[in-house]
Each structure stands twice: as C-alpha cells, then as structure tokens.
C-alpha cells in the first residue's frame, strides 16, 4: 500500500490576476488563508483552474514557490506540472520537488494525443525523475485522450505514481479502475457533482473547483463520505449541486473567478484567450450565489 497524499477535499485554486494581467500574489495569499481556515485538505496550485496554460515558466514556478511558503506545511501542496512535452514536464516536476511540493498533478498530454504506450512512457519518464508522489489527471474533454484502466494498472506499479484525478465522468470506468488497482492507486473525483458516487466506490476525495467558494461545505461532503455516511454527504451535495453546476456554465475557471469577485474576493479576470462571460451568464451565476446566501 502506498502513502496517500491527502484525503478529503483539495482545492484546485484559482490564480488571481491584477488589472494589468500580472499574478496578484497578495490575493493568492488571502485565498490560501481562506482555504486553510475553511478546512480545505490540500491546495492544488497551477492546475487547469489556476490557468497554468497561460502562465510563463517564471510565473508557474513563482506561484508554486509562493504557495508552498504561504501554506507552510499546514496542509499538503500539490503542484500542477503536466505538459504535452515530456522533457518540459520532467524539468518542471523536478523544480516543484526542489521547492518542497508534497505531490505533483500531471495532466494527460494534450493536442499531440499520445497512444496508451506513449502515456506509459511519458508518465514513467517523469516518475523516474522525481522522488515525490504523482497524481495522474485524466480529463479527456480537454485533452482528447483517455487513460485506459489497463494503462493505469501498468503505471500504478511505479512507486511514485500514487493516485488518479478522474474527470472523465465515466462512473463505470472509474468503478473498474478502483476495483482493479486497489491499494496501488488512490482515486480522486475531478468533478464536483461526482464526489459522493466516486467516494462511495472507494475514492479518497475530490480535487475541487467548488472549494474555491465553499471550502468548508466541500470538505464536509468529502468528510462525511470518509466517515461512511454517504447518505448525509449526498444530501449536502444535492444542496449545492446547482451552485457547483453554475461554475461550469462557461469554460473553467471563468465562472468561478466571476463568483469570487461577486463575493468580494479579488480573483481578477482570466487571461486571454479566456474572456469574461456574457451578461446573461453573469446574472445566472449571481442568482445562484444569492440563492445560496453567499451574496446579498
């Protein structure tokens, strides 16, 4: 059995931006403190929700460094270091390890669409280069590639490959993954609307967008599952399902940044090519936040 990086709800934290488009580290620090005080179980920095694809190398490393230092070992920090260039992912992963990251999140190579054999070679190359645990991120809707259960089974034999973030939406495949990999591979939900079903099957938690605005509630959904109280977890998840879904009425992280700004938490805008939502979508998010009692 491998060591688990975290259990519960880890936040896929946004990267706040200043008006000029630069990273707002002061606002990032405030968000980190809000998450820790709200009971979040881990911080995932520079993932999809953190706009990693539009961060420069220097910004990417600076965000990881800042988050590790600000969090100060209070909860684990997991650094997004994935790429569709294996050599680049290796170097970024080694740098995150040097900075003190507790784990790595590595998205499936996108656009060049590796074969299953290519995925095995890609992830093995990275895992051989570091000595910290890795979470493999399966999100075919963004990458165009699905990590098969058979591929996961091969990769799970590597000591540094300890978990999967599953955002395929395919509950049947996730059930098979958990059944066949067992203690060799922890599984986290990558979708906020699937926390309870995935954890009921044996998942260890969620890497969450919803946690950005509801850290304590998302933590409680996962915690109830960990306590084998899935019935209560399902009630709580149902209460916030409409809110969770509203964060995906446009491309992530556009809606969650808009929601944070509406709540008076400075997240700034997204970087192009992601742009602000049209007014009708903004009003839809505003209405759901009001209904949830998060804004007046």
Alpha-carbon torsion (123, 126, 131, 132), positive or negative = negative
Q: Taking Cα atoms as reference points, which of 282, 278, 258 lies closest to residue 269? A: 258
The active-site residue, picked from 165, 204, 257, 282, is 165
DSSP for 34-76, please give it.
Answer: HHHHTT-SEEEESSTTTTGGGS-HHHHHHHHHHHHHHHTTSS-
**Catalytic-residue membership of 235:** no
Catalytic choice (65, 70, 123, 137): 137
Closest-CA residue to 79 (of 34, 49, 43): 43
Instruction: Answer yes or no: 165 catalytic.
Output: yes
DSSP string across 238-288: HHTHHHHHHTTSSSTTHHHHHHHHHTT----PPPTTS-PPPHHHHHHHHHH
Cα(79)–Cα(6) distance, rounded to whole angstroms?
14
**Enzyme catalytic residues:** 137, 165
């Amino acid at each position: 059995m491998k060591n688990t990086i975290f259990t519960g709800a880890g936040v896929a934290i946004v990267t706040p931006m200043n008006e000029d488009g630069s990273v707002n580290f002061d606002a990032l620090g405030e968000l980190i403190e809000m998450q820790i005080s709200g009971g979040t179980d881990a911080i995932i920095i520079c993932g999809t929700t953190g706009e990693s694809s539009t961060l420069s190398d220097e910004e990417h490393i600076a965000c990881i460094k800042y988050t590790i230092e600000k969090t100060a070992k209070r909860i684990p920090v997991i650094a997004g270091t994935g790429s569709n260039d294996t050599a680049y992912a290796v170097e970024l992963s080694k740098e995150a390890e040097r900075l003190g990251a507790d784990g790595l999140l590595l998205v499936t190579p996108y656009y060049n669409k590796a074969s299953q054999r290519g995925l095995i070679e890609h992830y093995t190359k990275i895992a051989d280069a570091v000595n910290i645990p890795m979470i493999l991120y399966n999100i075919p809707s963004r990458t165009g590639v699905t990590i098969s259960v058979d591929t996961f089974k091969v990769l799970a034999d590597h000591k540094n490959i300890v978990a999967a973030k599953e955002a395929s939406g395919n509950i049947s495949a996730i059930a098979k993954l958990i059944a066949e990999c067992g203690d060799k591979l922890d599984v986290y939900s990558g979708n906020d609307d699937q926390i309870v079903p995935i954890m009921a099957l044996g998942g260890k938690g969620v890497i969450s967008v919803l946690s950005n605005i509801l850290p304590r509630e998302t933590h409680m959904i996962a915690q109830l599952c960990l306590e084998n109280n899935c019935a209560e977890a399902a009630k709580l998840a149902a209460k916030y399902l409409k809110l969770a879904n509203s964060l995906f009425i446009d491309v992530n992280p556009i809606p969650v940044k808009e929601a944070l700004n509406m709540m008076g938490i400075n997240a700034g805008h997204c970087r192009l090519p992601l742009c602000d939502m049209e007014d009708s979508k903004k009003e839809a998010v505003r209405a759901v936040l009001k209904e949830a009692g998060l804004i007046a």
